[in-house]
Amino acid sequence: MNFSTPAGHANPDLYIGLMSGTSVDGVDGVLASLTDGQAPQVLASASLPMPENLRRELLALNEAGGDELARAALAANALARLYAQATAALLQDAGIAASAVTAIGAHGQTVRHRPDSGYTVQLNAPALLAELTGIDVVADFRSRDVAAGGQGAPLVPPFHAAVFGAQHGRAVLNLGGIANVTLLAPGQAIRGFDTGPANVFLDGWCQRHLGLPYDADGRWAATGQVLAPLLEQWIASEPWFGLPPPKSTGRDLFNMQWLDSRLAAFDGPKPLPQDVQATLQRLTARTVANAIDGAAANTREVFVCGGGAHNAGLMRELAYCLQRPVRPTDDLGVPAQQVEALAFAWLAQAFVQRRQAGLPAVTGARGARILGALYPA
């Protein structure tokens, strides 16, 4: 890895954002110019696949296991090296030296999220990332909000408001492993919360039965049929769906054991795998629609980002359940796959400028907080 660092000072507007989400399928990164009062300008973007051995280890670390501390530290180092590769690709693509970048915002990989017990764990090695890149790193965005009694998630609503605000009711829906929504309306406080599973089940079930990483465009789901009794059992059997915001979740709750236990308890005929996939797709769309209808019935349109925005079948299901226009954030000028990485560049800038990006109306914290911790180069 070659990071060019000629003499000079960082451009106060240049930030890198790096994101590896609950789907654990890869790392997305952006190099962006963030000038106050102007729309973000993405100068370069990169997406690196998650190496299969690292992916398996990160997924395994979501559950208790032997020698967890050493395994987690080694996985964090491997992830930081992947982040550094993404950073190198961004700098090379943009023709920009590392010394010109003010900071990297790197969220890390969430392996535990238990704000109800006062903690959240994101595997990351930001000191190593700073060492490898020669760029200041801002990381650990959730823990300050959790310390203030908040959920520590979702983190992106203030960024969504800054970039996607509208003169009418609008929702911005992120479909990663878990779905979260930001509700925007003129004259109202920014609101946002997790709605439940998105790709975590769709990918996991597809991997189990087809050996494929995901159900491209929902084509496998399209061969099955939605089983209404199974869908209703899933929703009725999970108290989390009925909790009011603020709320957040992750693989601690929505994992394949959750799905297996409910399939075992289903009192109807054993469903075909493709019917389960179709019903899982409807589960994501239905729980999103329930959440938006319950919290912001005046929402006129929904813009989708994250990997799920590329699933044509899921997008059709969302339009059916929401009965509103559903479009990717590309239509607002930010490609769906870049939104979360861009959000962490924005959050890094908020930390550097000491702006409070933790919103009590979103997370339930006792007050707005500055989010993140600095690891100097």
Per-residue pLDDT tens digits for 186-222: 999 999 999 999 999 999 999 999 999 999 999 999 9
Q: At 3, list the tokens.
A: 């990071």
Output the pLDDT for position 36.
87
26-29, Cβ contacts within 8 angstroms, sequence gap of 24 or more: 26/50, 27/79, 27/82, 27/83, 27/86, 28/86, 28/337, 28/338, 28/340, 28/341, 29/83, 29/86, 29/87, 29/89, 29/90, 29/341
- Backbone CA torsion sign across 65, 69, 73, 79: positive
From the centroid of its chain, how far is CA 30?
15
Beta bridge partners of 178: 197
Q: Which of 300, 314, 317, 308 is nearest to 336 (CA)?
A: 308
Query: To which residue do tokens 């979702």 refer?
Result: 154
Identify whether the C-beta of residue 312 lies closer than 8 Å to the C-beta of residue 260.
Answer: no
Query: To which residue do tokens 């959050």 refer?
Result: 347
From the centroid of its chain, how far is CA 371?
17
Beta bridge partners of 191: 183
Q: How far apart are CA 72 and CA 61, in angstroms?
A: 7
Query: To which residue do tokens 């997406």 refer?
Result: 47
- Backbone CA torsion sign across 228, 294, 163, 119: negative
Q: At 377, list the tokens.
A: 């180069």
Q: Which residues of the chain have pLDDT under 50?
A: 2-8
- pTM listed for this prediction: 0.93
Identify whether the C-beta of residue 17 lies closer than 8 Å to the C-beta of residue 345.
Answer: yes
- Backbone CA torsion sign across 359, 363, 367, 372: negative
Output the pLDDT for position 9.
61
Q: Which domains does the chain have, with CATH numbers?
A: 11-153+338-375 (3.30.420.40), 164-324 (3.30.420.40)
- Give the chain's count of helices (H) and strands (E): 12, 13
